[in-house]
Amino acid sequence: MRFYISAILFSAAVARAADDATPTTHAPACTATSSTGSGAFFDLRPDMAVHPDKGKSHRTGVAKDYHSKGYDYGKNFTLNICGSVVDPVSDVVGLDKDVWANVSAYYMSHGNIYSIGSQSMDLHSRGRKLVLQYTGGSPCGSKSSKSSRATGHSHAHDGAGSAPTPRLHKVEPLVKPLVKPLVKDDDKTAVRRKSTTISFLCDQNPGSAQASVSFVGTDPDECAYFFEARSVHACAHAEPHKPGSVGPGSVFGIIFLIAVLVYALGGVFYNRTDMFVILCSSCTRCLPGRRGYSQLDSGASARNRNSEAENRLIDQLDEEWDD
C-alpha cells in the first residue's frame, strides 16, 4: 500500500515537472500569440527584408524593401516589416545621424527624406487583428498649422455635379533649414513625431510568396500613417515546439509510462510474500541435504520392517518345536 502511495506521488511530481519544463519565455521577435486564447501563433520573420550576404543564400527570401503608392496622397512610401529598410537612408529630416540606420518606413518630398517610424519587432495580436507599429519618425510639425492644412486639403467644387479636387499633400520645404531648432523630446513641449501602424491580413493565396503592402491613409495632422499588409505568414498556425521544452504529447507519454510501471511493479510487490515462499520451497527441494535425510528415513523404516519379520518367524518356529 505504501508503494502505491509513493508511486502516485511520484507520478504527480513528474507531471508537474513536465509542465514546468515548458519555458514561459517571451515570444521571439516579430512573432505573436493570439490574444483570443485560441493558441494561434503568427510568425512574420519570413516577411522581413534583409540584405543578402555575399556568397550566402538568403534565409527569408526577401531582399528588397516594400513599396506602397500613395495615389491621391501624392507621395510614395518605402518600408520594411519588423526591420529597418534594406537600402540605407541619410539626411533624414529631424533625426540625428545615429538613428538613421533604424528607419523602417519613410517617404521623400522635394529631395528630403521624412521618416514615419523607426524599427520595431514588437508584433501584437489584438483580437482578430495583427498589428505592428513604428514610432519615433520625423517631427510632425506644429499643431497651429492644422487649419491651414485642412483648408488646403478640402475638396473644392467648381459647380454642381463637378468632380472634387484631389486631396493634395502639404507642401514640404524645398531645402532643410541650415540650423536645427534646439528642441528635445523631453522638453515641456514634446516634439510630436510621425508614426506608422501596419495591420496584417491573412492571404489565403498559396501563390503569394511575398507580402504586399498598401497605403490606407493618414490623420489630418499627417502624423500617423496607416498601412495594410497581406501575407501568407499572417495566417494562424500552431506554435512550433521549442527546443528544450516538453510538449503535450511528451507529457502524456511520460504519465502513461509511469502508470504502466506502477501497475507492473505494484503487482510484483503486492504478491512478494507468496512469491518468496514459493521460491524458497523450490530452492530447498533442490538441496542435497534434504535428499540425504529422506534416504536415511527410508533405510530406518526398512530395517524396522525386517526385524519384525524375523521376530515373527522365530516365534512361529518356537511354537512348532513345542508341539
Residue 178: its pLDDT value, please? 40
Residue 109: its pLDDT value, please? 92
* Mean pLDDT, 10 residues at a time, the chain of 323 residues: 53 53 63 86 93 59 91 94 94 96 96 96 91 96 52 42 49 47 52 96 85 95 96 85 54 73 69 64 64 53 72 76 65
Q: What is the 3-state secondary structure (H, E, C) of the chain?
A: CHHHHHHHHHHHHHHHHHHHHCCCCCCCCCEEECCCCCCCEEECHHHCCCCCCCCCCCCCCCCCCEEECCHHHCCCEEECCCCCCCCCCCCECCCCHHHHHHECEEEEECCEEEECCECCCCCEEECCEEEEEECCCCECCCHHHHHHHHHHHCCCCCCCCCCCCCCCCCCCCCCCCCCCCCCCCCCCCCCCECEEEEEEEECCCCCCCCCEEEEEEECCCCCEEEEEEEEHHHCCECCCCCCCCCCHHHHHHHHHHHHHHHHHHHHHHHCHHHHHHHHHHHHHHCCHHHHHHHHHHHHHHHHHHHHHHHHHHHHHHHHHHHC
Residue 53: its pLDDT value, please? 72
Residue 321: its pLDDT value, please? 67
